[in-house]
Amino acid sequence: MARTQGSRADITGPLIRDEALRLFARQGYAAVSMRQIASAVGVQAGALYAYTPDKQALLLDLLESHMQELLAAWKDIPGDPLARLERFVRFHIDTSLDHPDAVFLSYMELRNLTPENFARIADLRNRYEARLSAILRDGVAAGMMQIDDVKLTTLALIAMLTGVTNWYREGGRLDRRRIGEIYWGLVRGAVRAV
Amino acid sequence: MARTQGSRADITGPLIRDEALRLFARQGYAAVSMRQIASAVGVQAGALYAYTPDKQALLLDLLESHMQELLAAWKDIPGDPLARLERFVRFHIDTSLDHPDAVFLSYMELRNLTPENFARIADLRNRYEARLSAILRDGVAAGMMQIDDVKLTTLALIAMLTGVTNWYREGGRLDRRRIGEIYWGLVRGAVRAV
DNA sequence: GTCTATATCATGATAGAC
DNA sequence: GTCTATCATGATATAGAC
C-alpha cells in the first residue's frame, strides 16, 4: 500500500527542528511564524502540528536538547586542574562554533519560555556552569590558580568564551585552533596561571 | 486657552522611549505590540504615531541614542595604559549596570534592524570598541601588557564585561565596587599586567 | 496631542478530506 | 502525514473628530 500524499515522516521531524532553530536564531522566536517554518521545510503550516503540540514546545525542545547535548559531550578528566581548564576552554569554543544558532538561542530566547520551561533550562545551564566552577576550585586548592570569586569568574569566563559566536565567520582571519590558543592565553592569565 | 484633551506632549515622548526600552528588553522587539507600549505609557496606540513614524524607527532611536551616549560618556585620559584600562573596565561595567536594558537591546535586537539601520549601529559599536583597542595597543607598545591579538582581545574583554548584565541584581551578594575589583583583576591578568 | 474607529493583513491553531 | 480551508485573534498603521 502506497503512502498517502507526500508523507515523509522520517525526515520532516528533524527538518522542522533544523529550520526552526535557524530561523529563531536569525530573527527571534517571536518574529518567526509557523508558516515561515513550514515553508522552509516544504510543507504546509498545519503539518507542523503533527510533530509539536505548539510553538512554545518547539522552542523548549530546541533549547533543552542543546543543553543536554552540551552536558553529555563534556567529559572531565582527572588530573592537573590547568590541563582540565585548557580542555574546557577549547571544548566550549569548539562546541559554541559548531552550534552557533543553538548557543545564541540559549542566551537570547530564555525570556520567551514559560516560567516552568525557563526553570528547566536554567537548571541545565547551572549544571554546566558547575563543571567549570569545579575546575576553578580545584585549581585554587592546588595553589595553581588565584581567583577572587569562583562563581563570578565562572560566569565571566563563560561569557567571554561564548562571545566568539558574535564575530566568528568561517574562513575568516583566524582558524579555530588559533582562536582556541588566544582565548586560552586570556583565560590562563585571568586565573593567574601564567 | 486650555490644552486639548489629555495632551501631555512634554512627558509623553520620553515616556514612550522609556517604556518601549523596558518592554523590548524584557520580551523582545517582535513580541511587543504598539498597543502594549501605549498601554504602559497611558495613551491609546494611535497616539504613538505622533512621536515615531513606525516601530522600526523607535527601535533605531533607542539603540542609536544609547550608543551615542556611551561614546560621549567615555573620556580617555592621557598617561599610564594600565590606569586607562582600569578606568575603562570600571566605566564599562558601571555604564552597563546603569543601562542594562539598553545594553541587552544593543546585543540582542540588531537583527531586527533594517540593513541600513544595522550599519549605523554597527559603526557606532566599532568606534566604541576602537577606544579599548587603542588602550591595549598602547599597553603593548609600552611593554606593560602582553597580548596575542589586540582585536580579538578587545572583543573578548567587552563580551566578558558586558556579561555582568546577565546575572547582576541590585542588592545581591556583591556591590558594584567589589564587582569592578574582581573584573579588573580578571582583565589585568588576561593582558598579563599582573 | 490624543481619542475612537477602522482598514488591512498576518498570526497560531484546528477540522476534515485524502 | 499532509493538504486545504477556516476560525478567532491580534498586529501595524491611518483617518477624522475634538
Q: Give per-residue pLDDT as tens, B27-77.
A: 999 999 999 999 999 999 999 999 999 999 999 999 999 999 999 999 999
Residue type, B156: A
B9 and B99 inside one domain: no
Q: Which of residues B52, B75, B91 is at a domain's end? A: B52
List the grid coordinates of B98.
546603569
- How far is CA B77 from each of CA B74, B88, B135, B144, rounded to the nearest angstrom? 10, 10, 10, 17
Residue B143 Ramachandran class (φ > 0 left, ψ -120 to 50 alpha, else beta): left
The protein footprint on chain D, as nucleotides within 7 A of a CB, is 1-5, 10-16, 18
Residue B23: give the domain boundaries: 1-52
B11 and B101 inside one domain: no
Identify whether the C-beta of residue A84 lies closer than 8 Å to the C-beta of residue A134: no
| A148 contacts B181? CB cut-off 8 A | yes
CA of A35 to C1' of D5 (A): 15
B74 and B17 inside one domain: no
Q: Residue B25 carries which DSSP code?
A: H
Q: What is the pLDDT of residue B6?
A: 61
Q: How many domains does chain A have?
A: 2
Residue type, A180: G
SS3 B71: helix
B13 and B59 inside one domain: no
Contacting residues for B171 by C-beta, under 8 A, at least 6 apart: none
Residue B158 Ramachandran class (φ > 0 left, ψ -120 to 50 alpha, else beta): alpha
| B190 contacts A186? CB cut-off 8 A | yes
Digit-by-digit pLDDT tens for chain A (194 residues) are 334 456 676 799 999 999 999 999 999 999 999 999 999 999 999 999 999 999 999 999 999 999 999 999 999 999 999 999 999 999 999 999 999 999 999 988 999 999 999 999 999 999 999 999 999 999 999 999 999 999 999 999 999 999 999 999 999 999 999 999 999 999 999 999 98
Kindly report the backbone phi and psi dihedral angles of residue A114, in degrees, each rounded to the nearest multiple of 5, phi listed first.
-65, 155
Residues from A contacting B (CB-CB < 8 Å) are 26-31, 107-108, 111-112, 148-149, 152-153, 155-160, 162-163, 166-167, 174, 179, 181-183, 185-187, 189-192, 194
Q: Rounded distance, CA B34 to CA B104, Å?
A: 20
CATH number for A148: 1.10.357.10
A106 and A181 inside one domain: yes
Identify whether the C-beta of residue B191 lies closer than 8 Å to the C-beta of residue B146: yes
- Cβ-in-10-Å burial (0-12, 13-18, 19+) of B94 comes to middle
List the grid coordinates of A4.
498517502
A94 and A30 inside one domain: no
A63 and A13 inside one domain: no
Average pLDDT of B81-102?
Answer: 98
Identify whether the C-beta of residue B47 lies closer than 8 Å to the C-beta of residue B37: no
A121 and A138 inside one domain: yes
Residues from B contacting A (CB-CB < 8 Å) are 26-31, 107-109, 111-112, 148-149, 152-153, 155-160, 162-163, 166-167, 174, 179, 181-183, 185-187, 189-192, 194
A4 and A63 inside one domain: no
B108 and B166 inside one domain: yes
A37 and A65 inside one domain: no
B47 and B136 inside one domain: no
Residue of A nearest to B186 (CA): A190
Identify whether the C-beta of residue A158 lies closer than 8 Å to the C-beta of residue A92: yes
CATH number for A30: 1.10.10.60
